[in-house]
Amino acid sequence: MSSDRIGSLLRPFGACVASGLLALNLALTAASAADASWPAYLGDKASSHHSSLRQLTPRNVTKLQRVWTYHAGGTDPNNRSQIQCNPLIVDGVLFGTSPDLQLFALDAATGRELWRFDPVRDANASKAGVNRGLVYWADGTDRRVIFGNSHFLHAVDAATGRRIPSFGKGGSVDLLDGLGRDARGLSLMANTPGVVYRDLLIVGMRLGEGPAPAAPGPIRAYNLRTGELVWRFNTIPQPGEPGHETWPPTAYQYAGGANVWTGFALDEQRGLVFCPTGSATFDFWGGNRIGNNLYANSLVALDARTGNRVWHYQIVHHDLWDRDLPAPPNLLTVRHRGQRIDAVAQVTKSGHVFVFNRESGEPLFPIDEIPVPASDLQGESTAPTQPIPRLPAPFARQLFTHDQITDISPGAHRHVLDRFSRLRSHVPFAPPSREGTIILPGFDGGAEWGGAATDPDGILYVNANEMPWVLTMVETRGKEGQPLSRGDAIYTQICAACHGVDRRGNPAQNVPSLVDIAQRRKPGEILDLLRTGKGVMPSFDFLSDAQKQAVIDHLSGTPSTSTADARSATTEPDNPNALGSIPYTSTGYHRWLDTNGYPALKPPWGTLTAIDLNTGRHRWQVPLGEYPELTARGLPPTGTENYGGPIVTAGGLVFIAASRDEHLRAFDRKTGRELWKAQLPAAGYATPATYSVNGRQFVVIACGGGKIGTRSSDAYVAFALP
């Protein structure tokens, strides 16, 4: 009904009433138009993953068909490239990124390319890492896309794909500036988009987490017009700042991490930004950071205008398990004790949901501090307790006990049982050990960076991994405390966690073998990789030229300098986090698999769960994904390892790809019943988006593959009704 028609009907009731309802009608029209888009990372600034579009329903979703496919280019021929981008759709234009980190704009109805932006056209902007999404900001005719790549933020004209030179320096801001201390040469990547509050862009970043020196992870806000730094919140507090007492006195000068690498949620009305932080470095040994380590592993509510802390809750004390908060929190409204409460919910790698009053930080369900085991590693001092919510119940298993060992085949059971008997018994928060510690849920969750979706009824939908991993610590010195060779010492500390002590790499993590690297690459090429990094490999430019050469000599088997100078060559005086000062490293990130490559415990191995946050009770849980060869043997769907999150619609559907079996699926929001699935060109390790153009609802997913040994692709695929 038009505004004129509404006005004519209301004239007898007075201009005042008519004016009020006209305003309401215009507001609803504006809301409808906005909801036809997907204008922010994960749908909106509340990180809800929710759309009020209703065209697609449980009744008609089986008729969905592919309507366009866009090939972005830039796929790695060795199947190591990925696309993790949750695209934006604004005014009928889709903004996304390619596997080789180019930004592009498409006609969202047809998939036709409109423009493309390549950041390496400028000499100062390298490509590194992955991209999970973008930021869109508009003020009148000034419309910008903010694109994070390597350690830069780029401001790009949304209409033309050209740089906006008035932003930062020539259109870019270098995130290595303004950290509070010099971090040049250390790893820093802008993987995940920030969030916009008025004319501020609030951002985090991904940092190195190994035993090598690491950059600090402050939360920062930049002026969207100029690129000027407006405020900084130090997540590793400096002297005089609250929380400083939870670290060693000089930790702010050397400690790293405690960074927001996952994204934010913003309560625009209250001006509150909710910041989920990661662990402090080194992930698995914290003898140089004794204390609870605020604000690592915390949900921190900041005043979005000033960066001042409003409240915080630490979800893991003195983290030794890489238990970063893995995804942005969700803002939603729940009914609790007879009242409607604006809440914030945070999912975790451990498979828990922490729910708080958004304004006060008060938990809505009781949280217990449970006693946990102590460490026997030299110099370590674990926190005596860890917080566990009573409700909701965990959405992933918490214990790997004898009765959970896989029985998928007698051979698989025997193989896993043999190793199980030689590892330390599994209990939650068992500390890292030299014998091997079971981590369940594993390092990739429980919940992972795809996060959770919420709906207006207070229901949270979260996908999870249920896979055990094994963490084994090794000393960074040789036998009986003797120093290693110079190159071996550096490799063991900074490279072994990914490439392995045996240098065989980790195909499931896209980490190549270095066994024959000297035959495949020239010394100069290895040197360039150490300087710049590549893909998910960070730069190691903090190493001196002599240290880089020592690593190259070690990898090629060339004799290097004497062992006597190993420690002096790698240790900086008065720096407890300096290279050579950490007594332990890990042997790498190892999934525990059976002889056929399936997880070591009984299925399900991947799940999708609906949790009622009004009551804390689970509504349903179903497997997510399947192994076709096991289904053909008559096994029910087992679920698979999964990456990327769900979205939920007012039409009654939950859409999610994520599983390694290369499908996009639709589930009934109320029951969890799988209603539809479609084969993709490669696995969709990304969160989908939904939008409407000319009254037609689309669902689009980036199909990059490339993780956990699966094939890579460059495709974005959109589905709609005929």
Segment 337-382, tens digit of pLDDT:
999 999 999 999 999 999 999 999 999 999 999 999 999 999 999 9
Task: Say which CATH number the domain at 90 has.
Answer: 2.140.10.10
The answer to whether residue 456 is domain-embedded is yes
Q: Are residues 532 and 493 in the same domain?
A: yes
Whole-number pLDDT of residue 237: 98
Please tell me whether residues 616 and 714 are part of one structural domain. Answer: yes
Give the mean pLDDT of 258-271.
Answer: 98
CA distance 252 to 248: 8
* pLDDT at residue number 576: 67
The more confident residue out of 122 and 393 is: 393
Report the C-alpha gap between 55 and 697 in whole angstroms.
Answer: 6
| Predicted confidence band of residue 488 (pLDDT cuts 50, 70, 90) | confident
Residue 24 belongs to some domain of the structure? yes
Query: Both 540 and 641 in a single domain?
Result: no
Asked whether residue 617 is domain-assigned, the answer is yes
Number of residues that this document lists for the chain: 722
Average pLDDT over residues 72-79: 93
Q: How many Å is the maximal CA-CA distance in the chain?
A: 97
Residues 6+ apart with CB under 8 A from 410: none
Asked whether residue 460 falls in the same domain as residue 609, the answer is yes
Q: Is the pLDDT of residue 99 over 50?
A: yes
Query: Does 675 share its domain with 659?
Result: yes
CATH classification at residue 567: 1.10.760.10
Specify the pLDDT at position 535: 65
Q: Note whether residue 589 is domain-resident.
A: no
Report the chain's C-alpha Rg in angstroms.
25
Same-domain status, 459 and 563 = no
pLDDT band at 580 (very low <50, low <70, confident <90, very high): low
Mean pLDDT, all residues of the chain: 90
- Average the pLDDT over 292-314 and give the result: 98
* Termini Cα distance of the chain: 27
pLDDT score of 570: 43
CA distances (Å), origin 518, targets 77, 499, 532, 560, 680: 21, 15, 18, 15, 38
Q: What are the pLDDT digits (tens) for 592-640?
A: 999 999 999 999 999 999 999 999 999 999 999 999 999 999 999 999 9
Q: How confident is the model at residue 4 (pLDDT cuts 50, 70, 90)?
A: very low
In-domain check, residue 698: yes
Same structural domain, 566 and 499: yes
Please tell me whether residues 102 and 63 are part of one structural domain.
yes
Q: For residue 429, what pLDDT band results from cuts at 50, 70 and 90?
A: very high
Q: Is pLDDT of 155 > 70?
A: yes
Statement to judge: residues 495 and 544 lie in one domain: yes
**SS3 labels along 18-33:** HHHHHHHHHHHHHHHH
Domain that holds residue 27: 3-35
633 and 702 assigned to the same domain: yes
DSSP annotation string for 517-542: HHHHS-HHHHHHHHHH-BTTBPP-TT
- Considering the domain boundaries, does residue 676 fall inside one? yes
Q: Which residue has the higher pLDDT, 482 or 284?
A: 284
Confidence label for 127 from pLDDT (cuts 50, 70 and 90): confident
What is the predicted pLDDT for the residue at 497? 66
pLDDT (average), residues 282-289: 96
Q: For residue 9, what pLDDT is reported?
A: 37
Report the pLDDT averaged over residues 300-315.
98
Instruction: Say how far apart CA 325 and CA 260 lie, in whole Å.
Output: 8
Q: What are the tens digits of pLDDT across the range 194-233?
A: 999 999 999 999 999 988 889 999 999 999 999 999 999 9
What backbone torsions phi and psi does residue 147 show, to the nearest 5 degrees? -120, 120
> From CA 660, how far away is CA 598, in angstroms rounded?
12
Tokens of 337: 């004790």
15 lies in the same domain as 54? no
414 has pLDDT over 70: yes
Does the pLDDT of residue 10 top 50, yes or no?
A: no
Residues 21 and 43 in one domain: no
Pairwise CA distance, residues 333 & 331, whole Å:
7
Q: What is the pLDDT of residues 507-555, one digit of tens each?
A: 666 678 888 877 788 778 777 777 777 766 777 777 777 777 878 887 8
Q: Give 25's strand partners.
A: none
Confidence tier at 718 by pLDDT (50, 70, 90): very high
C-beta of residue 624 within 8 angstroms of C-beta of residue 463: yes
Tokens of 571: 């240790």
Number of separate domains in the chain: 3
Any domain includes 352: no
The pLDDT confidence band at residue 415, using thresholds 50, 70 and 90, is very high
At residue 173, the pLDDT reads 97
Q: Given the DSSP bridges, would you call strands 647-649 and 50-51 parallel, antiparallel or unpaired?
A: parallel
678, part of any domain? yes
Query: Final residue of a domain: which of 550, 581, 612?
Result: 581
Q: What percent of the chain has pLDDT over 70?
A: 89
Q: What is the pLDDT of residue 499?
A: 83
What value does the mean pLDDT take over residues 435-446? 97
* DSSP H/E element including 386: strand 385-389
**Rounded average pLDDT over 160-182:** 96
